[in-house]
Every structure is written in structure tokens, then in C-alpha cells.
Structure 1
Amino acid sequence: MGTKSAFNRVTLWASLLFAVILGFSRLSYGMFLPGIKREIGGSYSLLGILGTVNFIGYLIGTLCLPPLVSRFPERKHVINRMTCLLLGLAMIGSAFSHHLAELGLWRFVIGLFSAFATVLVLSIALDVVRPAERGVASGLIWLGGSAGILMTGLFAPFIIDPSRLEGWRYAWMAMGVFGVIAAIGFELVTGDRVSAPMSSPKESETRDQERVNVYRLLLHPKKLLFLTGSYFFFGSGYIIYFTYLIPYLVSQGIPSLYAGLIWSGIGFAGLFNGWLGGKAIDRWPSGYTLATGLALGTIGVIGVTANHMIVTALGAVTIGLVSFITPPLMTTALLRRHVPHHAYTACLSLATAFFASGQIIGPIIGGVAVERHGLQSGVASSAIFMAIAALLAGVHGQRYRRPADQGVPVGD
């Protein structure tokens, strides 16, 4: 099957799946914390640790995927189909949690399945897109996460209003059902694609050697180490912000409707970010482009220290516009440029493992900041990680500032 433009049925359904993979299964947790705390109990720092459990599952999934795909290269579509369906079902199951341990187990399982789905959906969808339009396609897919946040925010009064004790349960069940529908839709538009043929032992041996070189490529300071490091610190920073922003707003007595509108503002701005970021990385495929978005996002996070709802809201919208979807989609696009096609899935999975590691560390550090200095300091601490991510992305841009550096050899 020939390649297609960035706007096609596959990227549309992939975007809908990312609303589930990113917006619902991962980031909606921060929106639900006040309701979960009222019904199940636990402190915000303890509930933040449950978020860390989710990312431990996510990390394990990203580490397990490369050998699994290498062992069954012709079964990539089957693995994706199963994990996307199981992700939706796990979200439905988590809505029936009555104890923190039970909820933690579901968060772990959801993290595990979402890791598989993140890499596989991106890999399968981008395979059908023309190389020159993959940045735009990545933006279209990642903006599904923004759409998921937007939809979650619109239901904030139903989810976090104290009078609706089980609102978060019904919302999670609805999100899980939507996930199952999106998984079926994605399978229908990709099911007619021919799976990769079984490789010979010689080809498998060559691919194994190339995979080792990809690991060296991502971790070598003269190659992509700074891009990988930027992705790691971004993971730490953004997840702190998204975990503790709503609890902070609720603690300030902001009505649930306004808190939801701020949350939706992030998602609405992210809809434009997905498209603009994709166009930008196609035109300026550089670490400087990534660093710009991260730097502006750092400024947006600092807005929470102003103790003014308007400034906090503007900061949140800034994050949604320039540094929520931008880092993942730009990292995805830059890796597409720097690594061989056959090694992309393993390479993206390894980079995502570093991203997941950052998301594990972030809530722990943020939780410590919350316990010692309050929710405002916890949210603001994400600016430190975002600034480091921006700096490392800038170093990557400096390293590959010449056109001749844009194609990176896999070997030494």
C-alpha cells in the first residue's frame, strides 16, 4: 500500500486513540484526584504515588515492547489490537476500585497497556504517511491527547463537585467505552495492511546488531543523548504540573466550573499546538524548535506563583499551546529523521522508556514538595524540570545545527 498525506483515516483514528492513551488514561487522573480523595481517602502525596505506579507500568511496557516486536515482527498489528482493547477495558475496571491498593493495581495495568499502545499506534500510523508530512501527522495524532483533556475539563463540575461523590467513576467508565470504540475503529482502517514478512535468521542477526547501534545512538553524547535527556526531564516536569494543578485550584476555593475551564483551556490550546508544532518541526527540524516550546512552557508554569487565577489560567493556556504536545511530537519527528526505518519502533520505545522514567520520578519529587511546602510549590517545581529540558534541547540543536548533521549514522 502506498503512502498517504498526513490527513487520512488512519491518523484520524490514531488521534482518537491518543485521546484515550494520553488524555483519558494518563492525564485525567489529576482531574479526578479531589473526587478520589473524598471517596477512597489518602493524602495528595499518596495519591500522587499511585500516579507513579502508573508510570512504573508504563516504563515496564516500553522496555518489554522492543524484544516482543523483534520476536514477532509480523504480529505488530495483533499486539496493538490487543493492548488498545485491554486498555479500554482496564479503564472501565478501574472505575470499580474501592481501595487505594486496588486502584494502584489498575493504574499499573493501564500504564503497561498505554505504553504498548503509544509506541505501536504511532509506528503503525506514521508508516502510511509520506516522509515529508510525518511531522504534521505526528501533530494530528498527538493533538488527540489535547482533545481528551478538553473533553475531561468540560465534565469537571460532574467529576470534582463535592455533591457528586462517584462522578469520577462514571467518567472513567465512559472513557473506557470510548477507548474500546476507538480501538475497533483503528483496527478497521489498518486491518487491510499487509503485515511484515518473517525475516530470515541472517536478517534477524543484522537487525539485532542495528538495534544495539540504536541504543548507542540514543545514549552517546555526540549523537542523541541530549535529545533523550530533554525528553526525560520534560516527562518529569509536565506530569508534576498535570498531577497537582487541579488539586491546587480546588484548594484555593476556585469553583469546579472555573477549574474545569482552565483544564479545558490547556486541551483547547493543545489542539492548535499539535498542528502548529507539526508544521514547525517539518520546516525547522531542530532542537532549537523544541527548546523554544519548552522555554515558553517553563514561563507558563511559573504563572502559578502569581496567586492570581487569570495569570494561572494564562500560564496553563501557554503550556497547552506551546509545550504540552510539542515535545513528544517533535521528539517523535526528530527520531524519525535520525534513525533507520526498521529500527524506529525499538528506538522510539527506548526514548519513551526514558520519558516514562522521568514521569516516575516527577510525582515523587512533586509529592515531597507538596508535603513540605504546599500544593502551589509542588506545581511550581515542574518549572525546574521544564527549564532543564529546554536547555538540553538547545544543546541538541547546537550539536545538529548544520544541514549535514541532520542525518545521523547509526554506527560509531
Structure 2
Amino acid sequence: MTLLDRTEAAPAHPARLILILSLAPTVGLGIGRFAYSLLLPDMRDSLGWSYSAAGFMNTINAAGYLVGALVTSRLVARFGMAAIVRVGTLACVASLALCALSGNFAVLSAARLIAGIGAALAFVAGGALATTIAQAQPARSAFLLSLFYAGPGIGILSSGLIAPFLLQAAGPGSWWLGWLVLAALSAAMTLPVLLAPIGGDAGIGGGRAAPFRIAPVVVYLAGYFMFGAGYIAYMTFMIAYVRDAGGGAAAQSAFWCLIGISAFATPWVWRRVMALHRGGLSTTIILAVNAVGAVLPLFSLSPVMLATSALVFGVSFFAVVASTTAFVRFNYPQAGWPGAIAAMTIAFGIGQTLGPLVVGAITDAIGSLSSALAVSAATLALGAALSAFQRPLPK
């Protein structure tokens, strides 16, 4: 029996296994997707990119994530959850290394596409496997699952501690070295995922899925689309905004690390809001806070205001995804969860695919990064307003 074939019905150390699984979104999302923002200013200067070109790199990454999320279930049914987690994480590591090898726009685009696909495979399959492991201890399942969703925050924090100081020490044009170091760090984080007996050959779900109807939740889907478009614009261009405002390596690192650190507080800050069974109310509240975090730098670029923006934005943007999961659990029978979650994923994926490209084009036209933040905050606020009109679904 190989490592990929081994399963554990009741793992002896579920917390340890889920922490190991959390390294998959650490690599795929925390580093593979979001660390691009740390390297973007130097890449843009060195490679002569417009803001539209810079935004396109996150657009194609988000498109890859959407594709990956839509095919994960079928791949898991054929190859098992553990295998897909490992393959997806390895793809992310390979994409990071590829980014270090060339400044060619097409090569970098391909690398970002691969990173998006790999991150989706690792995150969706990893989340399903973490849920399976957590169910072995129902009383601790919420806590155990929170360990997995802390993964992106770990990636944001670790890359924030490394990339700005590396670029400062190596000088202009050293963006490729940043990708290389992050690839090496990700490879080290991937080793436990490859070696641990995480098991999980079963497919996602089971039985007959209930049909999903868009009409009763179209306004909620529109709100989630706006979140996808708005949050990714902030996460793409905010480091460039801090740098253009005179923030050096220490300021950029502190800002990025505060976003990562604040993500760890998400389960405790929002647990009562998540329990609200009132249609889209919980999502509205969290999205409104997210919009406030995005708009704060427009009023002042003082260290206090930037730190507040990072904390407010960080503590809320991971929570929006969790709030949609809570909405699905409250309003659909278990047989309807796969269809509802798939619809949410599509709406979110399309939003985060279009967001960076559109905001980049607006920034090029206006000539100011402040416009990117204004559009991001307005989009998030619109998402909050739309979600407020969603009512609980009849049983």
C-alpha cells in the first residue's frame, strides 16, 4: 500500500494533520496568489508594465483558480483528495520557480495561470479533506477547520517578512530573486504535505445532489461577485500604493504582515455574526467592514491609518468566504450544498478575474492609484448593499 492509498478513518492527531494540510493554501494562496503584490512594484518598473498589464497577471491567476475549482470535484472522484492536494501544491511551487526564470510576459502569464489552477486544486480538495478529518471529533470540528483556513494568512505573513527586505537589499530589478526565494520557501513547506499520511481517497460528497436554482439567490450571487472584484483589486495594488506614498521595505512588510496576522483573529471576531440566520445579513456586515478597510488610506497615508486599514481589511476579507458557507448551510439541505457552493465559487471567480484588469485600466486612464482604491472600496460597498436584500430561503 502506497502513501497515497493510505487512509485513516479516525486520525490519532487530527490537529496536526489539518495543520499540515493548511500548508497547501499557505503555498497556493498566501504565497502563490498574494505575494505577487509585494513583487509587483519592482516588476512593473523593471519590465515597463502598465497598470493594466500588472492587473492582468492577477486576472489570469484568478481565471486559473476558477477553472481549477470547477474541475476539482471530478479529479478528486478519480484520483482521491490527497493526490489532488499534493499535485495542486506542487504545481504552485513549479509556477513560483517559473516566475523567477523569465521576464517574458507570456511566460509569466502561463506561470500565474498554473498557480491559479494549482491553488484551486489544493484549496478545494484540502478543504474537503480537512472537513473529513475534523468530523472525527464533532465537538472540536469548528476549531479544527479554522486551522486549515489560517493557511493563507501564514503565507501572507511569511512572504511579508521576506520579500520587501530582500528587494531592498538586492536593489532594483531583483524581483526574480524574490520569486526564487519564495519558491524555495514554498518547496520546504510542501514537503510535509508530500510525506504526511493525510489519506483521503474518497471523493467529495456522495449520493444525489439536489438541483440548484439561481433566481432565489441572484442578488446574493451579485454581492459575492462584487466582493471578488473588489477585494482582489485592493490586494493587487495596495503595496504599490504604500510604496508610491514613500513607504520603504519596513512599511511595506509591516502593512502586509498586519493583513496576515489579522486573519488569525477572524474566527473569534465574527463567530456571532456568522451565526445570524437572516439571509445575507452576516455577509452584508462583514463586507461593509471590508469596504471601510479599503477606503481608509484615501483619507490619510499616516502609519496609523495604513495599519488600521490593513487590520480592518484583513480581519474581514477571509470572513466573507466563511459567511457564504454559513449562508449555504443555513438555507439549503445537505444535498443542495454542492450546487450552491459551486454557484458561489463561479460568481466569486468571475469577479476576481475581472477586478484587477478593470481596475488596472481605470488606473491607467486616470493616472492615479488612488482611483484603484476608490473603485475597490466602492465595489465592496456595493456588494454589501446587494447582499442586504437577500432574504432567508423557504425550507
Which of 15, 18, 33 aligns to 2:40? It is 33
Q: CA deviation at 1:366?
A: 1.0
From the superposition, tell whether residues 307 and 276 of structure 1 become closer, same or farther in structure 2 (CA, over 3 Å).
closer
**Which residue identity is paired with 2:33?**
R
Give deviations 1:216-239, integer Å, cap 9, x for gaps. 2xx232xx4444333221111100
Q: Which residue of 2 aligns with 1:89?
A: 94
Q: Distance in 2 between matches of 1:100 and 1:196?
A: 37
Structure 2, gaps ≥5 residues long: 1-7
Residues 7-406 of structure 1 mapped to structure 2, 5 A cutoff: 8-69=15-76, 72=78, 75-130=80-135, 134-161=141-168, 163-165=170-172, 167-193=174-200, 195=202, 207=208, 210=209, 213-214=211-212, 216=213, 219-221=214-216, 224-277=217-270, 279-280=271-272, 283-284=275-276, 287-309=280-302, 310-321=304-315, 323-339=316-332, 344=337, 347-373=340-366, 374-396=368-390, 398-399=391-392
- Aligned 8 A contact 1:298 1:386 in 2: yes
**Which residue identity is paired with 1:43?**
S
- Aligned 8 A contact 2:50 2:364 in 1: no
The secondary structure found in structure 2 opposite 1:27 is coil
Q: CA deviation at 1:363?
A: 0.8
Q: CA deviation at 1:162?
A: 8.1
Q: Distance in 1 between matches of 2:334 and 2:290?
A: 31
Q: Distance in 1 between matches of 2:386 and 2:13?
A: 29
Q: Which moved more, 1:233-242 or 1:145-154?
A: 145-154
Query: How many matched pairs?
Result: 383
Q: Distance in 1 between matches of 2:310 and 2:52?
A: 22
Q: Distance in 2 between matches of 1:62 and 1:389?
A: 22
Q: CA deviation at 1:273?
A: 1.8
Cα RMSD after superposing both structures: 3.0
From the superposition, tell whether residues 179 and 36 of structure 1 become closer, same or farther in structure 2 (CA, over 3 Å).
same
Q: Distance in 1 between matches of 2:230 and 2:343?
A: 19
Give deviations 1:3-31, integer Å, cap 9, x for gaps. 68997123212322222122111111111
Q: Distance in 1 between matches of 2:249 and 2:103?
A: 24
Q: CA deviation at 1:362?
A: 0.7
Q: Distance in 1 between matches of 2:164 and 2:382?
A: 35
Q: Distance in 2 between matches of 1:193 and 1:148?
A: 24
Q: CA deviation at 1:326?
A: 0.5
**Which residue identity is paired with 2:16?**
R
Q: Distance in 1 between matches of 2:225 and 2:142?
A: 21
**Which residue identity is paired with 1:220?**
A
Q: Distance in 1 between matches of 2:29 and 2:88?
A: 14
- Aligned 8 A contact 1:30 1:242 in 2: yes
- Aligned 8 A contact 2:224 2:383 in 1: yes
Q: Distance in 2 between matches of 1:182 and 1:304?
A: 33
TM-score by length of 2: 0.85
Q: Distance in 2 between matches of 1:329 and 1:13?
A: 21
Q: Distance in 2 between matches of 1:274 and 1:172?
A: 31
- Aligned 8 A contact 1:291 1:394 in 2: yes
Structure 1, gaps ≥5 residues long: none
Q: CA deviation at 1:82?
A: 1.6
- Aligned 8 A contact 2:24 2:190 in 1: yes
Q: Distance in 1 between matches of 2:74 and 2:181?
A: 33
